[in-house]
Amino acid sequence: MSAIIFRRLLQAIPVLFIVVTLTFLLVRSAPGNPFSTEKKIPPEIMEELEKQYDLHGTIWHQYGQYMAKVARGNLGISTQYRNRTVNEIIAQTLPVSMTLGSLAFCMAMAIGITVGGWAAVRHNQAGDRMLMILALLGISVPSFVLAPIMVLIFAIWLQVLPVAGWGSPDQIILPAICLSIPFAAAIARLTRGSLLEVLKLDFVRTARAKGLSEDAVLFRHALKVAILPIIGFSGPAAAGILTGSIVIETLFDIPGIGPFFVNSAENADPFMTSGVVLVFSSFLILFNLVADILYYVVDRRVKLE
């Protein structure tokens, strides 16, 4: 097991290398100078700036300088926020995004599995159909439409939750709900489908025949098997929540990493863009590894039983 984990982690290095290389070279080769402003800067100043940031010379030279820094764990200084290193920005904003993202992820899982299970138990009844249509709707409505409507209802008209911002626990509720809904819907669909399959299997019938309660059948037996595709989906779901949080953080004025990514991409900030892409990718690779291990463990236990 540990050998597999080690190999996977080793594999991640070339992947991250390729991703960072691609991002840096793309941003640097595209037109657009990170230092230009509306008013023309004297060429001497521009030269000095580029020198200070190791953004002078050929693109390969710049790339070499950057990678040498990255290898030492230094992601450079943001060209947009000149008093801040990328490490510093990420260190301050990533925890915020993580708090929001992890809550949304847990909510998506909890709501999705609950709703999916409920629907599966009532297969083809009115409630099931209703829920599945709702779930499809949840997938089909973009979060940037859902969010302002939710704000209008809960924050402006009902005045039960704050409109935006960050700092107190009630400010996380609306953004987390808006972020989790599409994934809760997807997981609900997946759970329902997978449970329906499992409930047809022999061991479930045996369990029922043994006189176990429906509850026990569902939780102790059926869901244990049916959870496998959901674990498999958790990787893509995490990726989706990570990208989705970019929009949600912008809409709710949350000091996460998302707005910095958008800002850096717009302003041709090569260090910030590459840094965020690197962090996002490493996190997702790690998360997928954990999900795979979990899958493996659950799968083996299921097979043993």
Partner 1 sequence: MKTLGLFFQVVRRDPFLVACALFLVGVTTLAFVGVHFTGYTYDQISNDSLLQPSGAHWCGTDINGRDLLTRTLSGAQISLVVAALGALVSLTIGVSYGMISGYVGGRVDNVMMRVVEIIYSLPTLVLVIVLVTSLDQTVSNLMRSVGLTQIPPRLVLIVLFLGLTEWLTMARIIRGQVLVLKEQAFVQASLALGQSHWNILWRHLLPNLGGIIVVYLTLTIPAIMLDESFMSFLGVGVPSPLASWGTLISEAATSINPIRVYWWMLLFPGGLMALTLLALNFLGDGLRDVLDPRGRS
Partner 2 sequence: MGVSGTRSYRRAIPVVWVAGIATLFLAFFYFLGGWSLSSEADLTLCNGDEPQTLDPAIITGQLEGRIALALFEGLTTRNAQGDIIPGMAESWTRSPDGLTYTFKIRADAKWSNGDPLTAQDFLNSWERALSPETASEYSYQLYYLVNGEAYGTGKLKDFSQVGVKAPDDRTLVVTLWHPTAYFLELTSFQTLCPVHLPTVKKYGKDWTKPGKMVSNGPYVLKEWRLNDYILLEANPYYWRPVPIHRIKVLPTNNPTACFNLFYSHKTDLIMDKGSIPAELVQSIKDKPYFHSEPFGGTAFMRFNVKRKPFDDVRVRKALAMALDKEDIVTKITRAGEKAADTLVPPGNAGYTSPQGLPYNVAEARQLLAEAGYPDGKGFPTVDLLYAKRGTSDNAAAEIQALWKRDLGITSIRLRGQEWKVYLNSMEEIDFDLCLSAWVGDYSDPQTFLDMFVTDGGNNDTGWSDPTYDQMLETSENTADPAKRMQIMHDMEKILVEDEVPIVPIDFLVGVSLYEPGKLGGFEPNFVDDHRWGEFYIPKGNP
- Binders of partner 1 among residues 78 to 117 (CB under 8 A) are none
Which residues are paired to 208 by β-bridges?
Answer: none
- Candidates 67-75, 100-108, 171-179, 243-251: pick the segment binding partner 1 (CB under 8 A): 243-251
- What's the CA gap between 191 and 194, in Å, rounded? 5
Residues 63, 138: Cα–Cα separation, whole Å: 43
Q: Are 215 and 183 in contact (CB under 8 A)?
A: no
How far CA 268 is from CA of 23, 30, 80, 151, 194, in Å, comes to 11, 8, 9, 32, 45
Nearer to partner 2, 8 or 208 (CB): 208
Please state, in angstroms and rounded to a whole number, the distance separating the CA atoms of residues 171 and 144: 17
Asked whether 70 and 271 are in contact (CB, 8 A), the reply is no
Nearest approach, Cβ of 60 to partner 2 (angstroms)? 21
> What span, in angstroms and rounded, lies between the C-alpha atoms of 204 and 225?
10
Cα-based angle 137, 111, 296 (whole degrees, multiple of 5): 110
Nearer residue to partner 2 within complex by CB, 93 or 281: 93
CB of 173 to partner 2, least distance (A): 11
297, 289 Cβ separation under 8 angstroms? no
> Quick one: what does residue 206 bind among partner 2, partner 1, none, with the CB cut-off 5 to 8 Å set by partner type?
none
Residue 111 beta carbon to partner 1: minimum distance, rounded to whole angstroms: 19
Interatomic CA distance for residues 185 and 168, integer angstroms: 27
State the nearest-atom distance from the C-beta of 155 to partner 1, in Å. Answer: 9
Backbone angles phi, psi at 126, to 5 degrees: -60, -45
Residue closer to partner 1 (CB basis): 212 or 283: 283
Question: By C-beta, is 77 or 135 nearer to partner 1?
Answer: 135
Instruction: Tell me which of 19, 98, 298, 302 binds partner 1, using CB under 8 A.
Output: 19
**Rounded to whole angstroms, how far apart are CA atoms 190 and 233?**
9
Contacted by 211, from partner 2, partner 1, none: CB < 5 to 8 Å by type: none
CB of 27 to partner 2, least distance (A): 10
Find the binding residues for partner 1 in span 188-207 (CB under 8 A).
Answer: 193, 197, 200
Does position 139 interact with partner 1 (CB under 8 A)? The reply is yes
Q: Which is nearer to partner 2, 78 or 281 (CB)?
A: 78
140-179 binders of partner 1 (CB under 8 A): 140-142, 144-145, 147-149, 151-152, 156
Is the Cβ–Cβ distance between 115 and 135 less than 8 Å? yes
Give the span between the Cα atoms of 136 and 42, in whole angstroms: 56
Tell me the closest approach of the beta carbon of residue 254 to partner 2, in angstroms: 8
Residues at the site binding partner 1, with contacts judged by CB under 8 A: 11, 15, 19, 22-23, 26-27, 29-31, 133, 136-137, 139-142, 144-145, 147-149, 151-152, 156, 193, 197, 200, 235-236, 239, 242-243, 246-247, 261-262, 265-266, 273, 276-277, 280-281, 284-285, 287-288
